Amino acid sequence: DLVSGRKDTSIVLQSLSLASFKGFPTADLRLHPFTMLIGPNGVGKSSVLQAIALLAALVQGTLAEFLRDQDWDYEDLPHLRAKNLRLGITATVQLGRSLVRWEIHCGTRNHPGIASPRVTRISNRGEETPLLQRDGRKMQRREETTGNWEGIEQNVRETLARVKTVKAKLRG
C-alpha cells in the first residue's frame, strides 16, 4: 500500500464452484471473511474443505502428489453418479489487489488427470484477461508486461527423458 510502502500480499478466497466433485453434482459457494460450514453428517462440509485443500496443494505440487498425501485414488474425486462427466473446480481469489478466477477441469473417472486449467484476471470493470490456459499438451502463458503469449507444448517422450535424467543424477 502507498502509506506503508508494502505490497498487499493477502489472498482471499471469494467463491468456489464445484462440478461433479465428490458428493456434489454441482455447488456454488460465495465466501466471506468469516464463513462457517454447518449441517448434518454427509452433506459435504468436508468435501468443500477437501476441494480447497486440493487447490492449495496444486499451487506447489501435482494432483498425483495430493492424492498420494491423502491416501486417495483419483476415483475418489468424481461424483459417484458422474461416470462420464468431467470434474471441475473454479475459485475466484483476491490476490492482493488483483481478482483472479482459477478453473480446473479434470478428466472423467476413466481418464484421470487435469485436462484444462485456466487462469483469468478480472479487472475492476469486469473485463477478463486470460493469463494461463491449457488444452491437452499445449499450454499458453500471457506475459503481463507485454501481453504476448508464450507457448509450451508437453511432449511425453521429452518428459520421460527428463525424469530418467533426474533419477540418474540423484543416484549418481
- Please write the tens of the pLDDT for every residue from 5-33: 556 678 899 999 999 888 888 899 999 98
> Model pTM greater than 0.95?
no
* pLDDT tens digits for range 105-125: 888 777 788 877 889 999 889
Residue type, 76: D
CA distance readout (Å), 41 to 37, 74, 113: 11, 23, 29
Q: What value does the mean pLDDT take over residues 160-169? A: 60
Spatial contact of 20 and 79, defined as CB atoms under 8 Å apart: yes
